[in-house]
Amino acid sequence: MNSFYDELAPYYHLLYGDWDASIAKQGDALADLLCESGVLPGASVLDAASGIGTQTIGLLQRGYQVTASDISSGAINRLRNELLSRDLCATAFVDDLRTLDGTLSESVAAVLACDNSIPHLLSDSDILQALQSCWRCLLPGGIAILSVRDYAAIERKNPDVRPYGLRLVDGNRFLAVQVWEWDADQYDLRLYLTTELPSGICETKLIRSRYYAVTIEKLRELMVRAGFVQIQRRDNVLFQPVIMGYRPLSS
């Protein structure tokens, strides 16, 4: 997983039609959700699967005190550069979502793991460990916010070809295409990143990963086992369903 995102980090923003607009939109949506849950600007938030910073940057711009971690050193290096270019300040470091060793217990008001990061963990036991680590880091009454694909609603076909839109970058044409190949409740993902130069020469980079198509119902069950309460599904917040749950005020 870390090598996949190391290789993807220079291109990740191109998976969006307009990355800056997506940062703003997701920042607004997550800030509204946090405020609704009593986590107001100025509160401490851990973005535990930050990638290159889509959610981190959006929440920093709305006044939250965000710490960012990710298993990919390439993504974290890109995030640090993005923060510098925007004159934003946040601690960003490499960490494993399953353990969150770099975050103290009961130290943050909210933990995020968005953009379908949880399904990179390929077993229920790994997901449960990650959820228990999120629970540990939360202050009593704190909230965990996850966004995941609704795999129960996705038709399983081999191969499943999923192109992104064409991007124009510095005179070049860029096209990304995902290809999924199913294996029971997991699938291999091949991501083809093709750049066409003005000369007509094409260069394609292939990177691969694997996902566990964990259902939202299974994720809800694992959140209960990890100790979360008041678990809810929210649609139409981000581009994937949002699952949220709270650490009880007393345990």
Q: Which two tokens stand for residue 61?
A: 């711009």
Number of Cβ within 10 Å of residue 210's Cβ equals: 15
Span 141-161, pLDDT tens digits: 999 999 999 999 999 999 999
Question: The whole model's pTM is what?
Answer: 0.95
Task: Put the strands of the sheet holding 44-47 in their side by side order.
Answer: 91-94, 65-70, 44-47, 108-113, 138-147, 242-246, 229-234
pLDDT, residue 2, reads: 73
pLDDT by residue for the chain (251 residues), tens only, comes to: 678 999 999 999 999 999 999 999 999 999 999 999 999 999 999 999 999 999 999 999 999 999 999 999 999 999 999 999 999 999 999 999 999 999 999 999 999 999 999 999 999 999 999 999 999 999 999 999 999 999 999 999 999 999 999 999 999 999 999 999 999 999 999 999 999 999 999 999 999 999 999 999 999 999 999 999 999 999 999 999 999 999 999 86
**How far apart (Å, rounded) are the C-alpha atoms in residues 102 and 245?**
22
pLDDT, residue 251, reads: 60
**How far apart (Å, rounded) are the C-alpha atoms in residues 111 and 139?**
10
Return left, alpha or beta for 114; rule: phi > 0 is left, psi -120 to 50 is alpha, else beta.
Answer: beta
- Which helix (H) or strand (E) is 19 found in, with range? helix 19-36
In this structure, are strands 65-70 and 44-47 parallel, antiparallel, or unpaired? parallel
Q: Walk me through the domains of the chain, giving residue ranges and CATH numbers.
A: 2-151+214-246 (3.40.50.150), 155-212 (2.20.25)
Number of Cβ within 10 Å of residue 192's Cβ equals: 15
pLDDT, residue 12, reads: 96
**How far apart (Å, rounded) are the C-alpha atoms in residues 113 and 86?**
23
Residue type at 38 in one-letter notation: G
147-174 CB burial, b ≥16 within 10 A, e <16: bbbebeeeeeeeeeeeebeebeeeeeeb
Residue type at 79 in one-letter notation: L
**How far apart (Å, rounded) are the C-alpha atoms in residues 100 and 91?**
14
DSSP class of 71: S
DSSP class of 164: P
pLDDT, residue 250, reads: 81
